[in-house]
Structure 1
Amino acid sequence: MRKHVLIPTDFSSSAFNAVQYAFELFKNRECTFHIYHAYYIVASSKGNPLFPVPDELEYRTIRQSKNREMDILKENINRLSNNEKHQITYDFEYGFLTDLLKEKVESDSIDMIVMGTRGVTNNKDVAYGRNAINVMEKVRSCPVLAIPRNIKFEALNEIVFPTDFEAKFNLDEMETLRRIAETANASIQFLHIGSENNLDETQQKNKQFLEDYFKSVEFSFHWLQDVALMEGLLLFVKQRKSSMISFVNRKHWFFGTIFTNPLIKNLGVHATVPLLALHGQ
C-alpha cells in the first residue's frame, strides 16, 4: 500500500534536510511525498482588528514570492532523487500552519508528517522551534517525525520507546512504530523507569501486549531505577548511541517536561536524535 508522507517546509535548510531524511528512510517503500508550505501575512488591521486581512496587492505579491521559492525548491528536490517508487506533490496555502496541516492530513490521507525541528530563525539556544512543537502537540491524527537540522540519514540501529506501561496502547500508533522498525531493520528498546518487579496487573498486561505485538521485530526491555524520567531517557540514548526516540504524547505531559528541561541543552540529544511523536487517546 502506498504511503503518504507530508513534509512541511519553510524553505529553510532544516526543512530541506527533513526532505532528504524522509526520502532515505522510505527509499524502499512506495510513497507519495506532499511538500507543503503554509504562510501567514502579518497585516495592518483595516477591518476586523482580531483578524486583519492583507489587501489584494499584498496578497498577490506574497503569493508570487512563494511561488518562486517553491519553484527553486522543486529544482533542488528533483536533483535529489529519481526513485521510481516515489511521487512528489507541491502546494502552498495561506493560513495558520497547524490548522492547514490538520486539514491536509484528512484530505490527503496522510500517514506521517516529517519535518525539521527548527526553521528559518534557527535560534541555536532553542532545541525545538515553535512550529515543530505546535505540530507535534496539536496535529494528533497522525504521527510526527521531527528531524534535527544537522542529522543526515544513517541506517537506524535502534528506536528507544519510553513507557510506564500504565495506559493501553493505540493499535494504529503501535503499527506505525512497528513498520518504521521493520522498514529500517531497527530494533526497539522499551525503556521503563522503575523495577520490573513492581509492575501491577495492568502494567503487566500492557507489557505482555508489547511482547506479542512486536514479535516480528527485534526488541528488548530495559529498567532504570533511582533516576528521573527525562534524565534516564537522555542518558540511555546518549550511552547507546540510539538512532531515534519514539514516544506516545498523551495529554501534553511529554512536552511540558522535555522541551523545558535543561538536560536537552546539556546533553545535546536534540541535535543528534530524531523524535517520532505518536498520539495516544
Structure 2
Amino acid sequence: MRSILIPTDFSDNAMNAVRYALELFKYERYDFYIMHAYEDTIYKETTNLTRENIGKVTKEVADRSAAELDRILKEINTFSPNPRHKYHTISSHNILIDEADKIVDEKNIDLIVMGTRGKSNDRKITFGSQTLQVLKYVQCPVLAIPEKQRYTQPKHILFPTNYLIPYKRRELKLLCDMVAPYRSIIDVVYISKIKKLSLRQEDNQLFMKEALCKNEINFKTIDSKDVVASIEQYVNEHPIDMLVMVNTRESFLESFLYPSRVDQLSLKLNVPFLAMQNIKRDG
C-alpha cells in the first residue's frame, strides 16, 4: 500500500488538491495523510500576541486546526467513500517544511499532493511560496495541482529530459503505477541542439523505457536550447494532462544565484506538475 501526504491550509485550492488526488488514485489502495502545520498561524493570529497569552492563542489555533481536519474527513467520506482508501489527519505545532519532511520519513511517503495557491491566492504566483518550498526542500516527489484544476484522466503526459540523470527506480515506478490504469501515453522529450545521444544517455533512456514498460512511450527530440520555452510551447500545442520533471538537488548558493527551471515554469504552468526529486530512498 502506498502513502500520500496532502498538506492543507483549509483553502479552496487545498481542498481541490484533495479531490484531485482521491480521484486520480481511486483504483488502488492508498493511505492518505491530511496534514495541517499551524506554527506560522500562531504568530500571524494577532498583533497583540505576548508571552503571557501565547499559550491561550496556541490552544485556540490547535483546536481550530483539529476541528477543520475533522470537517475535511467528513467531507471526504461524503464525496469519496472509497473502501480502498484509508484516511489519517495530522495537526502539528510546526512549520510546513519541517513537518512534511518529518512525515515523509516516518510514514515512508511516496508522494506529496498540493494545490498551487493557498489562502494568499496571489495571481502573480502560480505555485505559491509554500508549495515551491516543499518542491525544493522536501525529499519526496510532489504533485502540484493548479488552482481550480478540474480532474481529467492523465491520458497524455509530457516528460522532458536530457537523459543525463539516472532516474530512481522508485520514482519511475510511482509514475508508471499512477498512470497505468489510464493507459496513458508518455511523451519523453529530449530538448537539445545535439541530437546524438552519448552512451550514458542511451543507457538512461533504456532504463526509463524498462521502468515505464506498462505505458506507451513516445521518444521525441526537440532541436532547441531554451528548455523552458520548449516545454511551454509543447504543453500549449498538445493535449497534455500532466507535466513530469526532475528537481535536481542544487547547492543553496547555486539556487540563489541561478533560478531553476522549476522556478521559471512555476510562473506559467496550467497543468498538474509532478516534480520528482531524484533522491535515494528505501523501497
Q: Report the TM-score when normalising by structure 2.
A: 0.87
Alignment of 1:115-264 (within 5 A): 115-140=114-139, 142-194=140-192, 197-252=195-250, 256-258=259-261, 260-261=263-264
Q: Residue 179 of structure 1 aligns to a residue in which SS?
A: helix
1:128/1:259 contact within 8 Å kept: no
Deviation at 1:170, TM superposition (A): 1.3
Q: What corresponds to 1:107 in structure 2?
A: 106
**1:143 is matched by which residue type in structure 2?**
P
Label 1:227 to 1:14 Cα distance change in 2 as closer, same or farther (>3 A).
Answer: same
Q: What corresponds to 1:68 in structure 2?
A: 67
Paired with 1:207 and 1:199, the residues of 2 have a C-alpha distance of 9
Residues 228-268 of structure 1: CA distance to partner in whole angstroms, max 9, x if unpaired?
1000011111111201011111124899234554x765xx5
1:156/1:186 contact within 8 Å kept: yes
Q: Could you tell me the percent identity over the aligned residues?
A: 28
Q: Report the TM-score when normalising by structure 1.
A: 0.88
Q: What corresponds to 1:56 in structure 2?
A: 55
Deviation at 1:196, TM superposition (A): 6.6
Paired with 1:215 and 1:196, the residues of 2 have a C-alpha distance of 26
RMSD: 2.2
Deviation at 1:189, TM superposition (A): 0.8
Q: Residue 26 of structure 2 aligns to a residue in which SS?
A: coil
Residues 45-71 of structure 1: CA distance to partner in whole angstroms, max 9, x if unpaired?
75xxxxxx9732121121122233223
1:243/1:274 contact within 8 Å kept: yes
1:4/1:110 contact within 8 Å kept: yes
Paired with 1:91 and 1:85, the residues of 2 have a C-alpha distance of 20
Q: What corresponds to 1:50 in structure 2?
A: none
Aligned residues: 268
**2:138 is matched by which residue type in structure 1?**
V
Q: What corresponds to 1:30 in structure 2?
A: 29
**2:115 is matched by which residue type in structure 1?**
G
Deviation at 1:35, TM superposition (A): 0.8
1:159/1:187 contact within 8 Å kept: yes
Paired with 2:167 and 2:93, the residues of 1 have a C-alpha distance of 36
Q: What corresponds to 1:42 in structure 2?
A: 43
1:25/1:184 contact within 8 Å kept: no
Paired with 1:73 and 1:175, the residues of 2 have a C-alpha distance of 30
2:157/2:184 contact within 8 Å kept: yes
**Greater CA drift, 209-218 or 222-231:** 209-218
1:12/1:119 contact within 8 Å kept: yes
Label 1:169 to 1:260 Cα distance change in 2 as closer, same or farther (>3 A).
Answer: closer
Q: Residue 42 of structure 1 aligns to a residue in which SS?
A: helix
Unaligned runs of 5+ in 1: 47-52
Paired with 1:150 and 1:134, the residues of 2 have a C-alpha distance of 21
**1:42 is matched by which residue type in structure 2?**
Y
**1:20 is matched by which residue type in structure 2?**
R
